[in-house]
């Protein structure tokens, strides 16, 4: 399979965008759109400078630098036909651990007009109950007390904006590309709270010179295993140390609020709007929530690949009933969107054998996902006195997944929950199931106040332990 190469002269591209968090999703989504856009002669100033801030980023930085920042993206078609793209839109790459000064100076650079972010749902340092920024966090306090030697994304951006202000280099837009309701508003709350605590003069400048548009992003992008690297390179004929693969569906909807200009992404399929609310509500409530619904029961049943789980008719019915019965009443369709077609397409996307996403990726960091994907609509369901069986089964499955770490087949596994607190750990291992409902993931809601939910949850906790997830799932259908 011959890769599709870009036709622009990469040496003539300048970086007008700085992106923090150069992970697989960013490289399959924003880079894909931007790589296509750079074919236009009048868009050459919108290349991307990637920034990595974590010690764990060393390998991806090394691998990308080894191949001049180019990499291959395999787009896996639902029809079984794949296409490979050579991506060249990543023009610079800075590792903050190695050269923190370069990160701060790049944020201050007058050529950079946009900072984009994929720092994960849990990366915004907000209290799950109140939504307030956690100023007392140890790392945050370090950055407030040592503003010129930051370690967090908030400290780096604040110092970079301070230098930008002092150099009179103009305004900038901060664009979150994370799966959060009103992600721009969330980013604004987090960054402006930090900056207000650090420097009130800078905070006033930010009010006038920085915008935070909301956006909705969508493209299923699995993690890349060593086995995937071998497979992808065999198919593409490349020798890529950092290949990425993803599904053939992609969507990006952004509020058009860019204070210093923006790329003409609409030429390559991005949709700009005045209000992204309906789009993000649809995507978070249907795609992301269904991914979470699928994850823990499927993992406990022994499935490790999403497409294999989707061959189980009980799982498909479970997800489709959740979409149709539990969620659709609370999700108004965006303009020009057919919700029934959208849901049918989701089932096709989850079933894509070429993508074959990892169930473990969907299980990762549930503590950050439940408050965003599940709880808002579950609260509405409780108020509407709706049937709570499916969400109760999900939360009972999540408890079993975290507490016992053994699936229906007796196979043990490790969990990955980077944002669990010590209190969470205590609640998980407590033998009283109701204590689990006090987990930080469920702060801000009182699941224990719904007798219907409590009765279902307690019964399902016991059944999953005694009968196994597969049997219990069949019984609730």
Name which of 24, 30, 12, 102 is nearest 60 in CA terms: 24
- Please write the tens of the pLDDT for every residue from 310-348: 999 999 999 999 999 999 999 999 988 999 999 999 999
Q: Are residues 168 and 241 in the same domain?
A: yes
The count of domains in the chain is 2
- Please write the tens of the pLDDT for every residue from 11-32: 999 999 999 999 999 999 999 9
The percentage of residues in the chain with a pLDDT greater than 70, rounded to a whole number, is 100
Q: Are residues 307 and 184 in the same domain?
A: no
3-33 b/e (C-beta count within 10 Å ≥ 16 → b): bbebebeeeebebbbbbbbbbbbbbbbbbbb
pLDDT for residue 129: 80
Indicate the residue among 247, 273, 299 that finishes a domain: 273
- Please write the tens of the pLDDT for every residue from 405-448: 999 999 999 999 999 999 999 999 999 999 999 999 998 888 99
pLDDT for residue 102: 98
pLDDT class of 112 with cuts at 50, 70, 90: very high
User: What CATH number should be reported for the domain holding residue 107?
Assistant: 3.40.50.720
Q: Are residues 284 and 266 in the same domain?
A: no
Q: Are residues 299 and 242 in the same domain?
A: no
Q: Are residues 198 and 334 in the same domain?
A: no
Q: Are residues 265 and 377 in the same domain?
A: no
Q: Range of 360's domain? A: 277-476
pTM of the shown model: 0.92
Q: Are residues 264 and 289 in the same domain?
A: no
Q: Are residues 266 and 283 in the same domain?
A: no
Give the residue-averaged pLDDT of 375-381: 96
Answer whether residue 74 shows pLDDT above 90. Answer: yes
- Please write the tens of the pLDDT for every residue from 225-266: 999 999 999 999 999 999 999 999 999 999 999 999 999 999
Residue 268 in domain: yes
pLDDT class of 1 with cuts at 50, 70, 90: confident
Residue 3 in domain: no
Give the residue-averaged pLDDT of 452-464: 98
Answer whether residue 68 shows pLDDT above 90. Answer: yes
Cα separation, 271 vs 269, in Å, equals 6
Indicate the residue among 273, 307, 323 that finishes a domain: 273
Indicate the residue among 244, 273, 302 that finishes a domain: 273
Please tell me which of 3-7, 178-182, 297-301 the model is most confident about, judged by mean pLDDT. Answer: 297-301
Residue 57 in domain: yes
Q: Are residues 221 and 287 in the same domain?
A: no
Q: Are residues 173 and 317 in the same domain?
A: no
Q: Are residues 307 and 183 in the same domain?
A: no
Give the residue-averaged pLDDT of 1-13: 92
Residue 403 in domain: yes
Answer whether residue 460 shows pLDDT above 90. Answer: yes
Q: Are residues 250 and 366 in the same domain?
A: no
Answer whether residue 198 shows pLDDT above 90. Answer: yes
Residue 1 in domain: no
Answer whether residue 2 shows pLDDT above 90. Answer: no
User: What CATH number should be reported for the domain holding residue 311?
Assistant: 1.10.1040.10
Cα separation, 61 vs 164, in Å, equals 26
């Amino acid at each position: 399979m011959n890769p599709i190469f870009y036709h622009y002269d990469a040496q003539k591209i300048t970086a007008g965008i700085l992106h923090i968090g150069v992970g697989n999703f960013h490289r399959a989504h924003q880079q894909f759109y931007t790589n296509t856009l750079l074919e236009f002669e009048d868009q050459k100033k919108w290349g991307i400078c990637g920034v990595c801030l974590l010690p764990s980023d060393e390998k991806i930085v090394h691998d990308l630098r080894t191949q001049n920042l180019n990499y291959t993206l395999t787009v896996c078609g639902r029809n079984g036909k794949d296409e490979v793209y050579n991506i060249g839109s990543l023009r610079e790459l800075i590792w903050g651990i190695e050269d923190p000064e370069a990160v701060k100076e790049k944020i201050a650079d007058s050529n950079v007009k946009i900072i984009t972010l994929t720092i994960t749902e849990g990366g915004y340092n907000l209290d799950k109950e109140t939504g307030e920024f956690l100023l007392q966090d140890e790392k945050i306090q370090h950055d407030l007390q040592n503003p010129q030697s930051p370690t967090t994304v908030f400290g780096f951006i604040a110092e970079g904006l301070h230098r930008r202000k002092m150099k009179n280099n103009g305004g900038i837009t901060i664009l979150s590309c994370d799966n959060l309701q009103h992600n721009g508003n969330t980013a604004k709350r987090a960054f402006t709270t930090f900056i207000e605590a650090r420097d009130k003069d800078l905070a006033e400048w930010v009010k006038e010179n920085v915008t935070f548009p909301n956006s909705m992003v969508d493209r299923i992008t699995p993690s890349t295993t060593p086995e995937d690297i071998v497979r992808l390179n065999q198919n593409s004929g490349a020798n890529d140390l950092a290949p990425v693969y993803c599904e053939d569906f992609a969507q990006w909807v952004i509020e058009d609020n860019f204070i210093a200009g923006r790329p003409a992404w609409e030429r390559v399929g991005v949709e700009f709007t005045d209000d992204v609310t309906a789009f993000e509500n649809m995507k978070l409530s249907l795609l992301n929530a269904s991914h979470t619904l699928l994850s823990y029961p499927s993992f406990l049943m022994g499935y490790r690949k999403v497409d294999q789980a989707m061959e189980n008719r009980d799982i498909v019915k479970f997800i489709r009933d959740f979409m149709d019965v539990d969620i659709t009443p609370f999700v108004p369709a965006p303009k020009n969107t057919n919700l029934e077609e959208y849901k049918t397409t989701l089932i096709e996307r989850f079933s894509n054998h070429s993508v074959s996403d990892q169930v473990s990726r969907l299980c990762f960091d549930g503590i950050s996902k439940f408050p965003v994907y599940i709880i808002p609509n579950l609260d509405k369901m409780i108020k509407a006195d709706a049937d709570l069986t499916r969400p109760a089964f999900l939360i009972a499955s999540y408890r079993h997944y975290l507490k016992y770490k053994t699936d229906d087949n007796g196979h043990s596994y490790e969990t990955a929950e980077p944002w669990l607190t010590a209190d969470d750990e205590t609640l998980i291992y407590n033998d009283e199931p109701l204590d689990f409902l006090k987990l930080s993931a469920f702060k801000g809601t009182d699941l224990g106040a719904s007798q219907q939910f409590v009765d279902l949850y307690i019964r399902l906790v016991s059944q999953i332990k005694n009968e196994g997830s597969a049997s219990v799932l069949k019984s609730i259908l």
